[in-house]
């Protein structure tokens, strides 16, 4: 891909203040994209945006439809369009067996990881449809394929992201709008702060490459999925598990 691959395009990155979202924002910015960071951490999002060219930040709660809808309107007001959306906002939540899992915690994780994905996709599709072009990448997880013990809410929510992506991709397949997702193994981000060390050790033990995912590795694959070169594949699931996934 060229250094000007994303020129004159606007990319919305949820959870873009840090972690995979920030890495993707930087990668797309290098390719000339205008960046809109949607994140709950307004201060960190603003600092990240200030370190990029042609970037703005909005405080957004992806679990709240009104918050997402308002951010979409502000982004279009700032940049005129939304051409790319990378939905990276998500939480791991606590670790516990199903019979002990807090009911409110389960609902909170699904609200952010799955309902939030729906809200963001719903908000950006109309402008993409109107423009006849769009690229959407939803961040799922290898846990959504295989299920991690003591992480039922996270695993279920990410399995839902995979199913949702396949559904929307098929809905829009007749247009130049690609909707795909990636299924990363764990990367060392702030999401580790939400996990027990035993769970972190478990995830590492399942990765044949015997290391965690590097953020730059994730950003490169996602950048391709956001590009014009990704003109055929849609409703796809791209593995980033270091050999863990069996399908």
Active site residues per annotation: 154
| SS3 call for 17 | coil
Whether the CA torsion 16, 22, 23, 29 is positive or negative: it is: positive
CA distances for 102 relative to 71, 115, 168, 206, angstroms: 31, 19, 31, 26
Quote the distance between the C-alpha of residue 239 and its chain's center: 14
Tokens of 144: 């959504």
Answer whether 4's CB lies under 8 Å from 32's CB. yes
**What DSSP string describes 58-124?**
EE--TT-HHHHHHHHHHHHHHHS---EEEE----------GGG--HHHHHHHHIIIIIHHHHHHHHH
Alpha-carbon gap, residue 56 to 35, rounded angstroms: 6
Answer whether 226's CB lies under 8 Å from 136's CB. no
Helix, strand, coil % in the chain, rounded to nearest 5: 50, 15, 35
């Amino acid at each position: 891909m060229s250094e000007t691959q994303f020129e004159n395009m606007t990319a919305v990155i949820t959870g873009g203040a840090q972690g995979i979202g920030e890495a993707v924002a930087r990668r797309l910015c290098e390719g000339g994209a205008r960046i809109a960071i949607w994140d709950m951490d307004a201060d960190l999002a603003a600092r990240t945006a200030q370190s990029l060219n042609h970037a703005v930040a909005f405080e957004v709660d992806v679990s709240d439809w009104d918050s997402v809808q308002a951010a979409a309107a502000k982004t279009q007001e700032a940049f005129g369009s939304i051409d790319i959306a990378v939905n990276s906002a998500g939480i791991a939540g606590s670790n516990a067996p199903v019979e002990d899992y807090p009911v409110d915690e389960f609902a909170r994780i699904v609200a952010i990881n799955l309902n939030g994905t729906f809200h963001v996709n719903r908000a950006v599709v109309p402008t993409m449809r109107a423009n006849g072009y769009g690229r959407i990448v939803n961040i799922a997880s290898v846990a959504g394929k295989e299920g991690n013990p003591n992480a039922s809410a996270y695993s279920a929510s990410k399995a839902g992201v995979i199913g949702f992506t396949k559904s929307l991709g098929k809905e829009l397949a007749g247009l130049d709008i690609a909707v795909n997702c990636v299924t990363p193994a764990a990367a060392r981000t702030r999401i580790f702060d939400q996990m027990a060390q035993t769970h972190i050790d478990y995830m590492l033990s399942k990765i044949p490459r015997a290391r965690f995912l590097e953020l730059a590795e994730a950003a490169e694959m996602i950048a391709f999925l956001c590009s014009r070169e990704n003109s055929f594949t849609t409703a796809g699931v791209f593995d980033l598990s270091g050999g863990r996934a069996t399908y």
